[in-house]
Chain A
Amino acid sequence: MFQGNVPMGCFLKVLPLNLTPCIFNNLRAGLTSFMDVNLSIAHRPLLSDKIGVGDRQLDFRFRLLKEARFRPSVVLGITPPGSVSPVLSHDYLVATKNINTSIGTFRITGGYGTPYLIMRRNDKHNFWQELKLEEKAEFRSGNNYLIGFFGGITYLPVDFGGVMIEYNTTTINAGAFVKLWDWLHLQAYAYEGKKAAFTIAANSPLNFKPNTLRKHEKSLE
């Protein structure tokens, strides 16, 4: 979540177009120059009378390596252990490399998601005693999303948009995205050509100045 040295905040909404939609709302912020914090709320409108606003989750992304000429960037994603119902939990290591060519930029991504997670039993009163190791696939009854190796290629013929294809360990998906403005990105996905989803993302630098000061600076220009 950093553009150069500017800490960014992002609001992301995923709107799937299928019969049992699960709307993801994400708030993400660059808390340090090497760590992002992400809060997601998964809302299932059709089940809202059963499960409420849905599952909330806090997770972290650590930038271990910055991209260099011959080196990919490496990011570690961690969901802190301790949730009673960690259905969205994922822990992964992912590398990304941009390759600039005369016909545009190719972004190659590859990573690995761990098959285990630490979850919380709800029966003990001491936080640390409640923790236990669990196999993700088993807990999620066969859903193998981000367990094992995953990867993708994004092609950006222009700097304001591109197309992508990815394998997320369960399905092969294709998508296209466009940056309408610096702060607003739109994305459309197809999951194995069967389901579709739209993503809208609003980005803002977090180190902005107060309104009055910005207005005054503008008046001096």
Chain B
Amino acid sequence: MTFFLALGMQAQHIEEKLYNAGLENVQVKVERDTIKVFFEHREFRNSFHSMEYANLLLADEEFDGKILVYIPLYHNTPIGSYTAGDFDFKALNKDDRKFYKAENNPFKDYRFHFRLNPDIAARFGYYDHPFETKINLILDTRIYLAPGLSLQTGINIPIENSLDNQDKSLRMAPTMLHYFTQPLPGHFIGVSAGSFYSDRYGLDVQYRYARLDSPWSFGLESGITGYHWQNAGKFYTRDLSDLYAIADVEFRLPFDDLSIRLSAGQFLFEDVGARADLIRQYGVVDIGLYGSVTEIGSTLGFQFAFSLFPGNILRGKKLELRTTEEFRWEYSYNNEEPVAKKYRLGMPRLADMLRQYNSVFGK
């Protein structure tokens, strides 16, 4: 009896310790020879940095010879289990899912996040206006409504605009309902409905098969979207008629945290073609090169993504103000014709997110 009481107290102690350091929805499952710690950590982009952080926070805990295992959550959904230390990956078992289902509390165990997220568009090279930019600061949040279901919304504060004729009044930031789930181990589904970045609104569905201990992954991305514009306090939308559907295969090279991704299908603006990406993951930063060939044309470009400094700004028991965990920028050599264009959702796409959980990356 006292033994179980002690275990219960330790579980609660771990939950509090990690929660106070910024981790959320921390659930501790004590088994005969393992201690499994479920957590979500929205401040870091790379899940292995979060686990490294948890390792340090729990360094002086006694586990009585039990093995410590982490089960990171993304958008309120468990991804897989990783042994602390060597980050050995195992898919979730039925018992883990059942435990999480019973303990998961999407309302209570999260802070209310305010996230600062700059939205920058630029066009270079016109002789009369060489450097046209549009800079908005987005202050947004994600509220969990039910398991895996969240609402992302916020305000968009225009700062500078020499790019187009949109006025500088306060706007609604991209606002969408998002559902993320892993119905079977390795099968991930993300569905978003609402207004997105890149002036699009509509429905977006993503599926990805990614066993996180395998170098291969496959995905389908599709959406039906329309043009969406806010100006002078008014909403303006065009028909929901642009079909986007691409399939891709990705392979992780056995060195330098490099991945190669080939995508083909119908991109935004009904542009049929293919795109090849080479992506290097450094941890906080990703840098990628790409080339695409479509009906509209061909281009080369690069992209990078990184967490904005400093990360956490203010944190209380129930509130947090932080900078975005992922700022992404893509530059294409021909920056006028929309070759192999995608729209940005306002959250990383499944391929970009799951790449951060591949167990080889943590080693």
Q: Does A212 belong to the interface (CB within 8 Å)? A: yes
- B60 → chain A, closest Cβ, in Å? 10
Cα–Cα, bound, A206→B282 (Å): 6
Docked-complex contact B297 and A125, CB < 8 angstroms: yes
Stretch at the interface among B101-109, B124-132, B223-231: B124-132
Q: Does A209 belong to the interface (CB within 8 Å)? A: yes
Q: Does B327 belong to the interface (CB within 8 Å)? A: no
How many interface contacts (CB-CB < 8 Å) are there between A and B? 93
Cα–Cα, bound, A181→B92 (Å): 47
Give the contact-size bracket for chain A.
20 to 34
Q: Scoring B residues 33 to 56 as 1 if CB is less than 8 Å from chain A, else 0, what string do you get? A: 000000000011110010011001
Query: Contacts of A209 on B, CB cut-off 8 Å?
Result: 49, 52, 283-284
Residue of A nearest to B46 (CB): A210
Query: Contacts of B282 on A, CB cut-off 8 Å?
Result: 7, 206-208
Docked-complex contact A53 and B52, CB < 8 angstroms: no
Query: Contacts of B130 on A, CB cut-off 8 Å?
Result: 48, 51-53
Q: Identify the B interface with A (CB < 8 A).
A: 21-22, 43-46, 49, 52-53, 56-57, 124-131, 255-256, 258, 278, 280, 282-285, 287, 289, 293, 297-298, 300, 302, 307, 309-312, 333
- B56 → chain A, closest Cβ, in Å? 6
Docked-complex contact A210 and B44, CB < 8 angstroms: yes
Cα–Cα, bound, A48→B124 (Å): 12
Query: Contacts of B46 on A, CB cut-off 8 Å?
Result: 210
Docked-complex contact A212 and B312, CB < 8 angstroms: yes
Q: Does A165 belong to the interface (CB within 8 Å)? A: no
Q: Does A213 belong to the interface (CB within 8 Å)? A: yes
Please judge, given known A-B contacts A48-B130, A56-B124, A216-B56, whether A211 and B310 are in contact too, CB under 8 Å.
yes
Query: Contacts of A100 on B, CB cut-off 8 Å?
Result: none
Query: Contacts of A52 on B, CB cut-off 8 Å?
Result: 124-127, 129-131
A212: contacting residue among B53, B255, B297, B298, CB under 8 A: B53
Query: Contacts of B255 on A, CB cut-off 8 Å?
Result: 32-33
A216: contacting residue among B53, B124, B125, B297, CB under 8 A: B53
Query: Contacts of A32 on B, CB cut-off 8 Å?
Result: 255-256, 258, 280
- A154 → chain B, closest Cβ, in Å? 29
Cα–Cα, bound, A170→B147 (Å): 67
Docked-complex contact B56 and A217, CB < 8 angstroms: yes
- A48 → chain B, closest Cβ, in Å? 6
Q: Summarize B's interface: helix, strand, loop or mixed.
A: loop
Docked-complex contact A213 and B131, CB < 8 angstroms: no
A210: contacting residue among B258, B278, B302, B311, CB under 8 A: B311
5 closest A-B pairs by beta carbon, nearest first, are A52-B130, A127-B298, A206-B282, A32-B256, A207-B282
Chain A residues 174 to 221 lying within 8 A of chain B, measured CB to CB, are: 206-213, 216-217, 220
Please judge, given known A-B contacts A52-B125, A56-B124, A127-B293, whether A212 and B302 are in contact too, CB under 8 Å.
no
Query: Contacts of A208 on B, CB cut-off 8 Å?
Result: 282-285
Provide a sorted-by-A list of 23 A–B residue pairs whose CB atoms are within 8 angstroms: A32-B255, A32-B280, A37-B287, A37-B302, A39-B302, A52-B130, A52-B131, A53-B131, A56-B124, A82-B300, A127-B293, A127-B297, A208-B282, A210-B311, A211-B309, A211-B310, A211-B311, A212-B43, A212-B44, A212-B312, A213-B44, A213-B53, A216-B56
Docked-complex contact B284 and A210, CB < 8 angstroms: yes
Q: Does A29 belong to the interface (CB within 8 Å)? A: yes
- B58 → chain A, closest Cβ, in Å? 12
Cα–Cα, bound, A141→B216 (Å): 50
Q: Does A88 belong to the interface (CB within 8 Å)? A: no
- A10 → chain B, closest Cβ, in Å? 13
Docked-complex contact B126 and A31, CB < 8 angstroms: no
Docked-complex contact A33 and B309, CB < 8 angstroms: no
Query: Contacts of B52 on A, CB cut-off 8 Å?
Result: 209, 213
Query: Contacts of B278 on A, CB cut-off 8 Å?
Result: 31
Query: Contacts of A37 on B, CB cut-off 8 Å?
Result: 287, 289, 302
Please judge, given known A-B contacts A39-B302, A127-B298, whether A31 and B44 are in contact too, CB under 8 Å.
no
- A87 → chain B, closest Cβ, in Å? 14
| Residue from A213, A217, A220 having most chain B Cβ neighbours under 10 A | A213
Please judge, given known A-B contacts A48-B130, A127-B297, A220-B56, whether A33 and B256 are in contact too, CB under 8 Å.
yes
Q: Scoring A residues 121 to 164 as 1 if CB is less than 8 Å from chain B, else 0, what string do you get? A: 00001110000000000000000000000000000000000000
